[in-house]
Structure 1
Amino acid sequence: MSINVLFSARPALWPIYEPLLTKGLSGMDVTIATDLPPERVDYVVYAPNGGLQDFTPYTRLKAVLSLWAGVEKIAGNETLTVPLARMVDHGLTQGMTEWVVGHVLRYHLGMDRHITMQDGVWAPDPPPLASQRTVCVLGLGALGQAAAGVLSSLGFNVIGWSRTAKTIPGIRSLHGPDGLRRALTQADIVVLLLPDTPATENTLNAETLALLPKGARIINPGRGGLIDDDALLQALDTGQIAHATLDVFRTEPLPPQHPYWAHPNVTVTPHIASETRPETAAQVICDNIRRNEAGQPLLHLVDRDLGY
């Protein structure tokens, strides 16, 4: 029996993914299209901006394969009753790791200060060694583990935190509410790579920001909802937080009138920390389809109760 794959994502992506998916599924009797009768569809390659919301008519559906690492916009969809796999792509992971490590080093080495020192004053102030700087990575999924591992290899004292216990070689891992408090009290730099769920909303709020050592720095390439914006702005104004580099926001694009744009201690980047790379993402999708058709378990399945 032939396999039918529906591509439901931003239309501009179809000319890019169509040849990649076709090549990745070569040798199989497969039809890949953007418009198929719902009752004939076996797999959906999915992104929220593709418009598909009601999965009820897809009576033959075997799985939904997300092109996005974040699945908060589909995990709670009550019409979706088949397995949902999120995107875990080594290209995305590599891009995120490079962005995170770059901004940690920017803070660690004091690059912002050196860039703005144009007054002719010679003021040597070398940074400490990485081993004297504690970086706390909140979220120990694929992205968090990769970033934490590279930071640790550079000599940083890395603490990882997750909601549930995890054991990661070379990384001091804490978990649960008490572990979060212990991690934050030691952190010079905080990196947020948590998923966006009701349990993680406002992980950094007035109470948790106050736990950080005065003058700590924050890097958020995870999700906008992880931070209470009002609390962060207040902490920046008082000097409790020295600087924040933010790549994700509750509303995107970030509105021109938002206080983050004008704040002297905020760096805004336009959601560029990492992108799904079509070449590697298509291979992840194709590998999962081949696995499922061969009777092997799907990879990167989402726990619908946890939301990731």
Structure 2
Amino acid sequence: MVNILFADRPEMWSDYAPHLRRALDAEGLTHAVIAPEMEPQDVDYIVYAPSSFVQDFRPYARLKGVMNLWAGVEDVIGNETLTAPLMRMVDPGLTDGMVQWVLAHTLRHHMDIDTHIHGQDGEWRSGRAMTPLMSRRKVGILGLGELGGACGAALAGLGFQVMGWSRSPKNVPGVTNYTGEDGLNEVLSNAEILILLTPLTSKTENLLNAERLSRMPKGAFVLNPGRGGLVDDAALLAALDSGAIAHATLDTFRVEPLPPEHAYWSHPRVTVTPHIASETRSDTASEQIAANIARCERGEPFLYVVDRTDL
């Protein structure tokens, strides 16, 4: 018998239950039991949201693995009671959603669409500078993991000049990859549109600070669908106020929901989207979770294990 605890908000169970059951059966795990309540000593796997009722993992003595439902792991990685393997959510649906958001807002800023939409006032603005071709636009991506790599490949496929920075070398078709501090500076100094998709760790907290913002081309755009903590908020607001950064489109924040009094809401050069760049989809996520559990039951190693020594 394989016992799987679904640890998320109660209202999520009705959404996930049929998809998880179908995915487990498809993997040959017809005998597996999955439920939102289970005695800790009977649990083999936990399908997990960091905001759930499970915060102390010590009672789960036979736990084989924790399947994170969120793309980020910063809200659970510091839990010292979790000693079992922790798996990232790598969901094709989540990846596709992120690519769509990044493409949409990159093209929006590349084409200066905001100016044309907001200029419906009877003035014919034909004298504005012509939008460069995509082949002349330099786009930088910080983070070339599953999400960043997919976004980089999609942007390169459209014809943008794409540069990517990652902590270890990556091979993404059409993307020039840089590593190290010198590589980061190279991307920053050239990126007319910068996209933040690196994981949030102690090493990437405030990755985009005042000094790094100052290296960017004047009038550049910043997109952050990654993690709110990647950005020094005060530094970004100052760069926006001065015009050094033309606009920031932000989907993630240090505090969510973003408080109504936060300066981002009223700033004319900021677009706020409510953490919608990419959301875990219950159908495709369930398939990935079931496949990983099946691997473990066959004696094969998990996929997407979080390396806790590199955070």
| Same fold per superposition (TM over 0.5) | yes
Residue in 1 that maps onto 2:6: 7
1:171 to 172, 175, 178: 175
TM-score by length of 1: 0.97
Alpha-carbon contact 1:162-1:175 (below 8 Å) kept: yes
Distance 1:277 1:77 in 2: 25
Q: Which runs of 4+ in 1 moved over 6 A?
A: none
Do structure 1's residue 19 and structure 2's residue 41 form an aligned pair? no
Do structure 1's residue 80 and structure 2's residue 82 form an aligned pair? yes
Task: Report matched runs for 1:116-265 at 5 Å.
Answer: 116-124=118-126, 125=128, 126-265=130-269
Distance 1:116 1:167 in 2: 40
Alpha-carbon contact 1:133-1:188 (below 8 Å) kept: yes
Alpha-carbon contact 1:110-1:127 (below 8 Å) kept: yes
Alpha-carbon contact 2:248-2:271 (below 8 Å) kept: yes
Distance 1:270 1:236 in 2: 20
Residue in 2 that maps onto 1:105: 107
Alpha-carbon contact 1:245-1:268 (below 8 Å) kept: yes
Do structure 1's residue 306 and structure 2's residue 305 form an aligned pair? no
Residue in 1 that maps onto 2:50: 48
The offset of 1:18, in angstroms, is 1.2
Specify the code of the residue in structure 1 equivalent to 2:276.
Answer: I
The offset of 1:168, in angstroms, is 2.2
The offset of 1:306, in angstroms, is 2.1
Q: SS of the residue aligned with 1:48?
A: coil
5+ residue gaps, structure 2: none
5+ residue gaps, structure 1: none
TM-score by length of 2: 0.96
Residue in 2 that maps onto 1:95: 97
Alpha-carbon contact 2:47-2:66 (below 8 Å) kept: yes
Residue in 2 that maps onto 1:37: 39
Alpha-carbon contact 1:76-1:304 (below 8 Å) kept: no
Q: SS of the residue aligned with 1:212?
A: coil
Q: SS of the residue aligned with 2:47?
A: strand
Alpha-carbon contact 2:152-2:172 (below 8 Å) kept: no
Q: SS of the residue aligned with 2:165?
A: strand
Specify the code of the residue in structure 1 equivalent to 2:76.
Answer: I
The offset of 1:255, in angstroms, is 0.8
Do structure 1's residue 289 and structure 2's residue 293 form an aligned pair? yes
